Amino acid sequence: MISKITTVIALAIILTSCVSQSDYDKLKAEHEQLKAQLEKCENGAEKIIAKVEQAYAEKKYSEAKENIFKLYKEHPESSKNKEFELLRGKIEKLQLALKKKKEAELLAEKKKKDADKKEKDRIANLNNTGIWSVNYYVDDFGEPTKEGYIRNTYLISGAFSNTATQDSELSVRFLNSSSSNISIQLYEYASNNPVKAYSSEYYKVLILDKDKKRYNLTAINYKSDRLTFDKTNSRTVHQILMKGGAIKFKIVESDTPTTQYEFTIEKADWYDNAYRKLRES
């Protein structure tokens, strides 16, 4: 039908070059009439309704919505408008569900890629322990025992302050015998002798982990050369170290708050490998 009308219009245009004025006017009127018929054929209510139903059946929801709006705009009298208004609401719910499904699929895909990359990196770095190393305590004869521990291979730098000094040089050593037995040695002025206590001293230990999560823990120096965390606090420190990344510490002596120690582990990555090696030893 459409191709036939189009052909007639084309012929009418060609013939206008060799007809009288009256015939031309007649042809022009017929041309306008044919154009109107063509317009009605293309944008008539029945045609638009058919497009809506076909697009919906084919799950082309955006196209179906466009034609629903078109029907309402060009044929407000159509009895289908009320039905299609309900259909439009249904389509929007379907589109929302599809959008959420797609987002969930993309998120799952991203998580899988991240997990695959992490596992690939883990395997590639299976023997990489970063700044950490597994060492063994020695006996009275200086011979290594089977009791291992994790320490930072090189001393971590920081600063300390008290009533006598401000921001003086500090060195830090971790001594981690297990996930529930973690200690820290503090070397004021970056000396070779760690801070010692002649009575039990308590310390507040503030930590900011790689995810910017804050912790407020407690450590005790039991008349020794190190600050020791209890089992619960040790496990917390252990989990923070296992996550890797940059970790900030601020240690404050409870009885004399003016005595403070601050340091940052710039990259605690691969602590998990060191811990695995410790457990295997």
Rounded-to-integer distance, Cα 259 and Cα 37, Å: 93
87 burial type by CB count under 10 A (0-12 exposed, 13-18 middle, 19+ buried): middle
Written as one letter, the residue type at 248 is K
pLDDT at 230 over 90: yes
| Mean pLDDT over the full length of the chain | 90
Cα–Cα distances (Å) from 4 to 10, 24, 31, in that order, read: 10, 21, 13
pLDDT at 21 over 80: no
Rounded-to-integer distance, Cα 84 and Cα 64, Å: 10
pLDDT at 40 over 90: no
pLDDT at 4 over 90: no
pLDDT, tens only, 148-171: 999 999 999 999 999 999 999 999
How big is the CA angle at 174 (ends 260 and 234), to the nearest 5 degrees?
85
Contact indicator for 132, 271 with CB cutoff of 8 Å: yes
More confident residue, 274 or 118: 274
Cα–Cα distances (Å) from 63 to 34, 49, 71, 97, 99, in that order, read: 28, 12, 12, 17, 16
More confident residue, 49 or 18: 49
Residues in the chain: 281
Cβ-based neighbour number of residue 164 at 10 Å: 8
Q: Which of 271, 241, 263, 274 is nearest to 172 (CA)?
A: 263
Residue 43: the pLDDT is 73
Q: Name the percent of the chain lying above pLDDT 70.
A: 86
Kindly state the average pLDDT of the residues 72-96.
94
Residue 126: the pLDDT is 85
pLDDT, tens only, 105-132: 999 999 999 999 988 988 888 899 999 9
- Confidence bin at 236 (pLDDT 50/70/90): very high
pLDDT at 10 over 90: no
More confident residue, 199 or 152: 152
Residue 153: the pLDDT is 98
Cα–Cα distances (Å) from 117 to 44, 46, 60, 106, 211, in that order, read: 57, 55, 37, 16, 20
Contact indicator for 183, 227 with CB cutoff of 8 Å: yes
pLDDT, tens only, 237-265: 999 999 999 999 999 999 999 999 999 99
Residue 30: the pLDDT is 64
First to last CA, the chain: 87
Residue 206: the pLDDT is 99
Q: Name the percent of the chain lying above pLDDT 90.
A: 78
More confident residue, 200 or 7: 200
